[in-house]
Every structure is written in C-alpha cells, then in structure tokens.
Amino acid sequence: MGLTVTITDAGRAALRNAAGNGTNAVTIAAVGLSSQAFTPGAAIPAEIKRLTTISGGATAADTIHVTVLDSGDDDYSVYGFALYLSDGTLFASYGQSTVIVEKSAQAMMQLALDVRFVDVAASSISFGDANFMNPAATEDTLGVVKLASADDATSGTDNQKAITPQVLSGLLTPKINNLQSQLNTAVMTILPADDTVNTRINLFAVNDATGLPFVADAKGITRQLATVSWSSNLVGQEATARQSADQNLQNQVNVRIPSNPGTGFQSITNLTLSATGQPIFVGSGGGTTQGITTFSDAQTNQVLQIGYQYKGDYLSINVGGSWVYGATQSWVNNQIAVETKRASGVESGLQTQLNGAAMTLTVADDGTNQRAALVAINKAWNLPFITSAQNVGYHLVRTEPGAGFQAVTNFSLNAAGQPIFVGSGGGTTQGITTFNDAQTNQVLQIGYQYKGDYLSINVGGSWVYGATQNWVTGNFAGQQVDTNTFGVSKIGVSKQVGAGIQMLWTYGTDGVGRWCPISAPGNGFYFATNLTMGADGSLYALSSKDGATNGYAPSSYGTIAGGYYVRIGNILIQAFSAGVLSAGDSIAFPIAFSAAPVVSTTVDNNRDGANRPVAINPTVGTVTASGFKINIAAISGANQPAGTGQVWVFAMGPA
C-alpha cells in the first residue's frame, strides 16, 4: 500500500494554472530527508540532506513510484521526507513516528516508495532525473516484483508476487504423484483378474444390428449398454407422461383454491407466478390479470396495506405497522406548479445577488483593485482566504461587533510584530503583544480594580497586582537620577535564582541588570545597601550607617601537609609538623598568607645531651607570608644540640 503524502499550500498553488480552472504539470527535482518525526504537509524539521538523485513515474491514476539513491559515506535514520520542485518549492511531505529507512556509512541507500495522492492526478507530476526507476510491477508496467514463498503458493490468494520454478515444483509434485496413484488405482480396477467381487472385461464393442454398445466379461456373459439417443427417447417418453400428470395435478389444485367472490366479482380459477415472480390471476370470466409484489431489504419496509384518502388526494400506505403518505399524480402536479412559481421568484432574487457577487469577484484588475481568482477555507487554520489573480493569498478574520463597537476592516502586524487594527469608522489602533521567557510569565488577562487603584494581571493561571500611574505618583516621590545615579527602567522578581530563592531584579537606564538582595535588620543592626561577592568568593557589604565597605571571606577548614588549617573570614590559622630540623633550616607554610603571620614554634625534645634546656624559635626578621627560618640556641651553659626532635609550628595571619 502506498504512502499517502500531503500536498502543501505552495504545492497546490504550483499545480493551479493561471486561469484557476485546471492544473499545471510540475517536476519533482529533489527530495529532502528528515531525522525527526513530524506532521505530514508541514516543512520538514531536522533535514539531514537534500538529494537530486531521484526518479519516478506514475504507476496508477493516483500513485507514483519514487526511487531515491544516496551513495554517500554518512549514516542516518529517516523518519520523513519532502518533495521539492525545480524552483525549490516545498511540494509535499510525509512523516511518521517510526523509522522508514536507515543508512550506514558503508552502504548505499536506495529508497523505493509508492506515493499516493488523494486528490491530484499522478500523471501531472514528473521527475527531473528519469535515468533510474524501480516501480512495482503490474500487468501494464514493468518493475520490481517480490517472490512468492511456499505458503503464498499454497494459499493462492496473492496476485502481486511471482512464483519460482522451485516453489512451483514443490507445489505440483505432490499433486502429480497423488494423481498418478489414483490413475494406477483406476487402471487396476479395470484390468484385475477375476475375484469374488469383480469380473474382468474381455470385450467392449457396438452391436451393428441394434446400434447399442455392449461388454463381454471373462465368463462369456454379454451386457448391453444404452446410447444417448436411446436414453433420450426413454426420457422423452417419461417427460410426456409427466407433463400429462402435472396438468391433471394442476387442475386438481385449481379446484382446491377457495375463491368466494361477492356481488360483481369473479372467482379465481388459476393463480400462477410469471417468470419475473409476479402473480397472474385467471378469473372465472376468462380474463387474465397480472398482480404486483412487495419486497423489503435493509433500506426498504414491506408494504402491508395501501389505500387512497380522497380528502387529501394522497395514498395511505401501511409499512411495517406504521402509516406513511404517498403523493398522487394530481397532488404532485399541483405542488410542482406551486413550487415552480415560488422558485421562479427566489431564482430571480438570487440571480440579482449572484450578478452583484460575480461583478465583485470578476472585476478586471485596475490600479485600485485586484481580481479574486479563488475563495476557499484553509484546512490547517480553519480560516477563509482569497487568492488574487496575481496568486497572492489573503486570510480573512471574522469580526462580529456588538452595540457601540466597530467592525475590524483590516487586521495586520507591523514590522515590530505588533497587531494593527483598522476599524469600520476609519481609525487605526495599534495593539500590544505578550511574551514569556525563562524569567517572565506570559500575561493571560489584565484588568483594573478601581477600589484599590491597581491592575489585576493573570500570569500563567495565578493573579498578581500591578501599580497604576496614580498609585505610584501618590506613594513615591520619583526616581533619584543624577550624575552618580541611574534610573530604573524595569523591575521584577526572579522566578528562581537558586533552590527556593527569589530575588528582586532591576534593569537600569544604563542597560545593566542588577540583583537586589533582601535586607531586613533587627534592633541594633543597619541595612546593607549593596551586597556583592568577589571573584575569590568573599562577600562585600556596603553599610547604610557610614557607607563603609566590609569584606567577609568564607569560612573553611581541612588538612595540610603535616597538620590542619582553619579559615574564619579573613583569618587563616595553620598548625603542622615541620620535621626534625637544625638551626638555620627554612620552613615553608603549606598555605601562603597574604602578609607575614604571627608564628610560634615548639619541639618535642628541647634538651641537650646533658639534659640541659635549649631554646627554639623563628629567627628574627625571617618571617614572611610564605615561611621563615628556625633558630636553636643553648640556655644556661647548655650545648646547642646538633639536632632536635619534631618541630611543631603554629601560625595565624591574614588569608
């Protein structure tokens, strides 16, 4: 079964001739392939490629066979296709939710389709490249045919597949063998030796004297057979005898049909059916009358009774138990005369209106008007439209004004996409459009609540309120705009910045958008007039008290080499083991400070070999943001040890 494509409006316009009373022949020059399902008749989405290696031709009054080749090295799946004319016009398209054909990079794609058009003659469509074509084979068209399977051959119901010698042999051989077996059985029946049931025939001949055939068996017994002429003679004799008996039987039947006519009527002496099944009555006066029959089917009720009501001059008919009325000739003639007179007056008025309409539709083109060539209704939009003689289409919008309103004589969009209305009074009105995006809901309805002096706006099914100019003027002195301050051109509330977070958003007259955090201080606190986050994650707040900017770094903690760190705001604290050291060794902070920190050191063994104490501390003047040098000194005559135990460092400073 062919795929039913949908012709686009542009395709139909290309088929329609300039006079609007016939079709043009069109040429299919290319086919576009789509990787996405879509509605037939629309422009195809996700077009994979457009191929000009396409051929085809009509195989039936409403069907063309289309063959498309693609020998490229790409791979794709096709869910729909579009047919393009030689001038690039989208003629027709077809799409479905399942894959039509798939192509791999290593294979050549040959797509053969039978395309069916519902209301367009296939003969009016040709193809630019007719060098290759693989239509379905028919009795009148050479083409591709599918081979029948053994099951197809056995069923014998498919008239579109061809049978191969192998399948034909498999079908006929068992039948031939069975026929041969039956033939052998028949021969054995004629030629067996004598047995208790059968006697063998020795002779089969014709007796010259009687002209009758006879057979002689092996026992010498002769049996005479009847000829056709002899049989016909006997049958003829039987037919004559039967005809006489039938006539006697008919006479008896006629006598036994009760017929009791009243005064002025005849008895029925014969009741018969004609060859067409109509009853035939023979009266006692000798006359023959042909009756009528009634019937019923799925659309017809049987007539049970029929009569004539002289007061209304019509027939009264009982059909299936209910009465209906039928017109007589005189009643019909009378009604036709009345209707003819009425129709004549209606036709006269209709002709006057038609002449006026025809003058409107067929007016010649001039400097002001264009002739209307076509008036129709767009199926997709259910809107009426008019096509001019210049093949330009105009959609019509219905307008039904109420009392106190004007009809809309023109409804258009300006270059900015805003609706323009022209009223029957001649005035032009510009409408507004609504939009929505990730941060904005579309306005569905808008009204004015006079009690509160504010707008009531339906956005996405929920109502919000908007301030009127009077309300704003009464509640605010106005915007502060000077050399250091921008005015606010837009203001709104974000739908969602983070999980469950909504923030005020303003758009300044400088064209920059700014987020406004909520600030609600308690007793003893000040508002934050500006809240910003730096690139390093630090938070900066501008105080409403003195205008000072205060920075707040984020708090964190974790492990470092040999120890741990803690960061609280802008303060960094590090505690770690530097290992076993000697005097003058350098120690680097695992995390560099922004300036030199405060450093304290200790050791797990601070005595010399004689168990006398020694001192360990940072060398004076060596502490920097990245590290310092260690100093180990003897105390009270102690000897400076060559090495100590593990040196521990505690440092705190600006992050």
- What is the C-alpha separation between 555 and 573, in angstroms, rounded? 11
CB count, 10 Å around CB of 126? 16
264-282 per-position pLDDT tens digit: 778 777 778 877 777 887 8
CB 572 within 8 A of CB 650: no
Cβ-count burial of 64 within 10 angstroms (0-12 exposed, 13-18 middle, 19+ buried)? buried
Between CA 153 and CA 157, with CA 154 as vertex, the angle to 5 degrees is: 70
> 350-364, 391-405, 519-533, 593-607: which range is least confident on average?
350-364
Give the Å distances, CA to CA, from 541 to 438, 538, 544. 29, 10, 10
Give the model's pLDDT for residue 405.
Answer: 80
Q: What is the pLDDT of residue 98?
A: 92
CA distance 446 to 429: 18
Q: Give, in degrees to the nearest 5, the angle at Cα 354 between 353 and 356.
A: 65
Instruction: Give the C-alpha separation, 60 to 285, whole Å.
Output: 66
Report d(CA 25, CA 126) in Å as an integer: 8
CB 151 within 8 A of CB 84: no
Region 52-60 average pLDDT: 80
CA triplet 143, 144, 149: central angle to 5 degrees? 140
Closest CA relative to residue 309, chosen from 322, 325, 332? 325
Say if residue 70's pLDDT is above 70. yes
386 has a pLDDT exceeding 90: no
In angstroms, how far apart are the furthest CA atoms of the chain?
175
Lowest mean pLDDT among 227-241, 314-328, 347-361, 589-603: 347-361
- Which range of 83-97, 307-321, 373-387, 493-507 scores highest in mean pLDDT? It is 83-97
- The residues, any chain, with a CB within 8 Å of residue 409's CB and separated by 6 or more, are 399, 422, 423, 424
Q: What is the pLDDT of residue 591?
A: 95
What pLDDT is attached to residue 110? Answer: 84
Does residue 20 or residue 577 have the better pLDDT? 577
Q: Phi, psi (5° rounding) for residue 437?
A: -145, -165
Split at pLDDT 50, 70, 90, the class of 234 is low
Q: Which of 258-262, 511-515, 539-543, 561-565 has the highest mean pLDDT?
A: 561-565
Record the tokens describing residue 364, joined without a space: 């010649």
Read off the pLDDT of residues 292-301 as tens digits, 9 standing for 90 and up.
Answer: 677 777 777 7
Distance, in Å, from the CA atom of 163 to the CA atom of 183, rounded to the nearest integer, reads 28
Question: For 621-647, what is each residue's pLDDT tens digit?
Answer: 999 999 999 887 766 655 555 555 688
Closest by Cα among 524, 587, 566, 585 to 653:
566
pLDDT of 496 strictly over 70: no
Rounded Cα distance between 588 and 628, Å, is: 7
Cβ proximity of 173 and 188 under 8 Å: no
**What residue spans of 112-164 are helical by DSSP H?**
150-155
Are the C-beta atoms of 302 and 294 separated by less than 8 Å?
yes
- What are the tens digits of pLDDT across the range 503-559? 667 777 788 887 766 665 667 777 676 777 776 667 777 777 777 787 666 788 999
Position 558 scores a pLDDT of: 93
Burial class of residue 125, CB neighbours in 10 A (0-12, 13-18, 19+)? buried
Predicted confidence at residue 76, as pLDDT, reads: 92
> Nearest 5°: phi and psi at 398?
-70, 140
pLDDT recorded at residue 129: 58
Percent of the chain with pLDDT over 70: 73
Distances (CA, A) of 59 to 63, 110, 120, 573, 627: 6, 19, 14, 89, 92
Phi, psi of 148 (to 5 degrees): -80, 145
**What pLDDT does 171 receive?**
82
Average pLDDT of the residues of the chain? 76
Q: How many CA atoms lie within 13 A of 90 on its CB side?
A: 17
Q: What confidence score (pLDDT) does residue 495 get?
A: 65
* Listed range (84-88, 369-373, 508-512) with the worst mean pLDDT: 369-373
Average pLDDT over residues 218-235: 71
- Nearest-angstrom CA–CA distance, 444 and 12: 37
pLDDT in tens, 142-159: 667 788 888 888 888 887
Domains annotated for the chain, with CATH where assigned, are 3-127 (no CATH), 145-174 (no CATH), 287-325 (no CATH), 397-475 (no CATH), 489-494+501-552 (no CATH), 555-654 (2.60.40.3940)
Average the pLDDT over 152-171 and give the result: 85
Q: CA 510: distance to chain centroid?
A: 47
46 versus 418: which is more confidently predicted? 46
**90 φ/ψ angles, rounded to the nearest 5 degrees:** -75, 105
DSSP type of residue 139: S
pLDDT attached to residue 35:
92
State how far the Cα of 169 lies from the Cα of 509, in Å rounded to an integer.
91
* Distance, CA of 122 to CA of 148 (rounded, Å): 29
d(CA 95, CA 36): 8
* pLDDT, position 446: 78
Which string of DSSP letters, residue by residue, matches 441-463? PPEEEEEEETTTTEEEEEETTEE
Determine the Cα–Cα distance for residues 269 and 257; give it in Å rounded to an integer. 8
- Average of pLDDT values for 306-335? 74
Q: What confidence tens digit (pLDDT) does each residue in 337-367 have? A: 877 788 777 777 777 776 665 555 555 677 7
Interval 369-396 mean pLDDT: 75
